[in-house]
Amino acid sequence: MTREALIDQIKQKRSFLCVGLDTDIKKIPKHLLDYEDPVFEFNKQIIAATADLCVAYKPNIAFYESGGMSGWQSLQKTCKEIPSDCLHIADAKRGDIGNTAAMYAKAFFEEESGLAFDAVTVAPYMGEDSVTPFLSFPGKWAIVLALTSNKGSLDFQYIQDRTGVHLFERVIQKVNAWGTTANLMYVVGATQGEAFKLIRKQAPEHFLLVPGVGAQGGSLEEVCAYGMNKDCCLLVNATRSIIYAGTGKDFAEQARNEALQLQKAMEAELIKYGVIG
């Protein structure tokens, strides 16, 4: 999916919602355990209930890797279930170098793996050769960790140099030179508030993938106030608040209700900032 196509989807759906598919078999409704592949059945019904309300889906790869071969099969089937008008994001946070990074990119981007994601999250700590292999695939995106929403983000990301510039700002400055706004995004946690101002100084036109709205307590209004630009260029992810909204046989309907509330709030923000009429 190109940058232009993604912006068009945001405007058409009046939404910049990304639904996380961090599917834990211990948390899905019990009746699904009667299916041959309970994880896939759960994902399939969540996707069917929310596809018109969101522009991206983001399976967290750890939830599938932990299941071994059957977990990968669930992931492959889930990828095929995600509509083509939604961005397919592999939340893998890969961060190795050289040929290894190239193999990770091949695994997540190429059809022969059975996945063919549009984008993958990447950790930049090891530098250029841990990121650029993901940028060599035409039409694909690397989503680089910049400023995350976890407690441990304070350990390194906010370290300042002698000029007062934070490490996360330096990361963005450096990574910007390796790609473009057409193949690079950044992960910025919704709980970071006014730090979005600093992010936008370094990356005014890049898409930002924003986890942390919903169960983690991030504010959609604050994210938009500091992070939205003329094309929106935000993908706000919600996971637990949507996929685990219900525990009964109507779980997909409950998920849709939660997604719809968030989509309506996003629509209001898009109108407020002039992205849509």
**Residue range 229-233: average pLDDT?**
98
Q: With a cut of 80, say whether residue 130 has pLDDT above it.
A: yes
For the chain, the average pLDDT equals 96
Q: With a cut of 90, say whether residue 238 has pLDDT above it.
A: yes
**Residue range 193-206: average pLDDT?**
94
Active site residues: 93
For the chain, give the percent of residues with pLDDT over 70. Answer: 99
pLDDT at 213: 82
2-25 per-position pLDDT tens digit: 999 999 999 999 999 999 999 999
pLDDT at 266: 98
Q: With a cut of 90, say whether residue 129 has pLDDT above it.
A: yes
40-83 per-position pLDDT tens digit: 999 999 999 999 999 999 999 999 999 999 999 999 999 999 99
Q: With a cut of 80, say whether residue 217 has pLDDT above it.
A: no
pLDDT at 194: 84
- Report helix, strand or coil for 276: coil
Query: Domains of the chain (ranges plus CATH)?
Result: 3-272 (3.20.20.70)
Rounded-to-integer distance, Cα 107 and Cα 112, Å: 8
Q: With a cut of 70, say whether residue 253 has pLDDT above it.
A: yes
Binning pLDDT at 50, 70 and 90, where does residue 191 land? confident
Q: With a cut of 70, say whether residue 215 has pLDDT above it.
A: no
User: Letter for the amino acid at 46?
Assistant: I
Of 55-69, 164-178, 214-228, 260-274, the least confident: 214-228
Q: Are 46 and 95 in contact (CB under 8 A)?
A: no
Q: With a cut of 80, say whether residue 216 has pLDDT above it.
A: no
Of 65-79, 183-197, 239-253, the least confident: 183-197
Q: With a cut of 90, say whether residue 98 has pLDDT above it.
A: no
Binning pLDDT at 50, 70 and 90, where does residue 210 land? very high
Give phi and psi for 263, each to the nearest 5. Answer: -60, -40
CA proximity to 199, closest of 177, 237, 166, 150: 166
Q: With a cut of 70, say whether residue 214 has pLDDT above it.
A: no
